[in-house]
Amino acid sequence: MKFSFETLTALTPEEIWVNYATVNNWFKWEDDLIAINLEGDFKQGVSGEMTLQGMPPLAFELVEVTENKSFCDETKIPDLASLYLNHELIKTEQGTLVRHSVSCVSLDGVDNQEHLGFLTQVFEDVPQSIFALIKASTTK
C-alpha cells in the first residue's frame, strides 16, 4: 500500500535538499518530531533514531539517497510491517515537484485493514510537512 502527495514550487532541488540532508533541519518541517539522530553522514546505509510525539523512539535506515533528487528511509515496525518514506525532488520546466510517499510492506506480504489504518495515520501529516519544507527552504 502506498499514499503520495506532491506539489510544485519555484524553488530548486538544491534549495530544498539542505533541509533533507541536515537532519536537524527536519524539525523545521516535521511538526511532531521530538528528537532525531543519524549515526553518520546522510547517505545510503546509515541508520538513525527518531522520536515522534506519542511514540517510542523508532530506528530507521536510509535505504536510498541521491543528492538533490531523492531519499528513502525505512522504519521497521515490530510484528507489523516495514514503513518506507520516500522524498523526491523532480525538476520540471515549471519548477520543482516535491513528492513525499509513504508505503507499508507487511511482514507477511498481505495487506489488511490494520496496515491501512496505520498507513493512513502516518500519511496524515505528509501534505502539511511538504508545505512546511517549502517554507523552511525559502527562509535562510
pLDDT of amino acid 81: 81
What does the alpha-carbon distance between residue 46 and residue 72 come to, in Å, rounded to a whole number? 11
pLDDT at 80 over 80: no
Average pLDDT over residues 105-133: 84
User: Residue 140 pLDDT > 70, yes or no?
Assistant: no
Give the model's pLDDT for residue 90: 98
24-68 pLDDT per residue, tens: 999 999 999 999 999 999 999 999 999 989 888 999 999 999 999
Rounded to two decimals, the pTM is 0.92
Calpha distance 76→101 (Å, rounded)? 16
Q: Specify the amino acid at residue 82.
A: S
Q: What's the burial of 17, exposed, middle or buried (CB within 10 Å: 0-12/13-18/19+)?
A: buried
| Residues present in the chain in total | 140
The 10 Å Cβ neighbour count of residue 55 is: 10
DSSP bridge pairs for 89: 98
Whether 19 contacts 119, CB under 8 Å:
no
Average pLDDT over residues 120-131: 92
pLDDT-above-90 percentage for the chain: 76
